[in-house]
Amino acid sequence: MAKLKVAVLISGGGSNLQALIDLCAQDDAPAEIVRVISNVDGVYGLERAQQAGIKTMVIDHKKYDGREAFEDAIHQVLDSENIQLVCLAGFMRLLTDGFVQKWRDRLINIHPALLPSFKGLHTHERAIEAGVKFHGATVHYVRPAMDEGPIIVQAAVPVLPSDTPDELAARVLEQEHQIYPLALKLIAQRKVRVSGEKVLYNGVACLPESVINPVG
């Protein structure tokens, strides 16, 4: 089966990008990262991509007259590379409905919370403040509403009484690096399908490898 052609959109350090690069570096990888686009120049994620021999591009939103023009520039690059799946990995710009619909079911995101809880920013602080006992991360298909869409993989971690937001974030990030490559692999192996806004794996509702429970 031909490798799935993937683009990754970033805004920062790119540790999740690195996890995807590492997956795609495996001999039998079902996906290849063709292009990494950052909306911020000089971020470490761009260096990670270059070190892996992946073409990079900076498309700075500040240089465009409005969101549509910015997204059109991204869309053109994705289109010209025949990209089949776009992975948002710490990409910190909201996308318009138009872009999201164009890439419907071909656009995925990782969010540092157990969606649908704690959409938006500062998820770790808010989880600690809310007193939840578990927090985590979610990989999901993107829909127009922020941090919504069919859930592909989630991982939970305990929230410890002594946790600072940074400590909790580090525990969650470790799991992000597990679930993002797993989600990409499942999609690239054509094991995932969206049905009625839920994800089915080979036609069934649950797949053992899609459930990561480091809590035990």
Strand partners, 94: none
Alpha carbon distance 67, 92 (integer Å): 13
Would you count residue 175 as binding ligand GAR (CB under 6 A)?
no
Question: Which 91-110 residues touch ligand GAR, going by CB under 6 A?
Answer: 110
Judged by CB under 6 A, the number of residues near ligand GAR is 13
Would you count residue 181 as binding ligand GAR (CB under 6 A)?
no
Would you count residue 16 as binding ligand GAR (CB under 6 A)?
yes
When the beta carbons of 173 and 212 are compared against ligand GAR, the nearer one is 173
Instruction: Give residues with Cβ within 8 angstroms of 195, minimum separation 6.
Output: none
Instruction: Give residues with Cβ within 8 angstroms of 83, minimum separation 6.
Output: 5, 6, 7, 34, 35
Would you count residue 136 as binding ligand GAR (CB under 6 A)?
no
Please compute, for residue 80, the number of CA atoms within 13 A of its CA located in the half-sphere on the CB side.
7
Would you count residue 149 as binding ligand GAR (CB under 6 A)?
no
> Is 124 buried (19+), middle (13-18) or exposed (0-12) by CB count in 10 A?
buried
Among 7, 8, 9, 14, binds ligand GAR (CB under 6 A): 14
When the beta carbons of 16 and 39 are compared against ligand GAR, the nearer one is 16
The 20-59 site mask, x for binding ligand GAR (CB under 6 A), equals: -------------------------x--------------
In b/e form, how buried is each residue of 30-43, taking b as 16+ CB within 10 angstroms?
Answer: bbebbbbbbbbeeb
Strand partners, 141: 108
Q: Least Å distance between CB 167 and ligand GAR?
A: 14
Helical axes 15-24 vs 44-51, angle rounded to 10°: 10
- To the query of whether residue 75 is one of the catalytic residues in this protein, the response is no
Q: Least Å distance between CB 203 and ligand GAR?
A: 29
Tell me which residues touch ligand GAR (CB under 6 A). 12-16, 45, 89-90, 110-112, 173, 176
Which residues are part of the catalytic machinery?
111
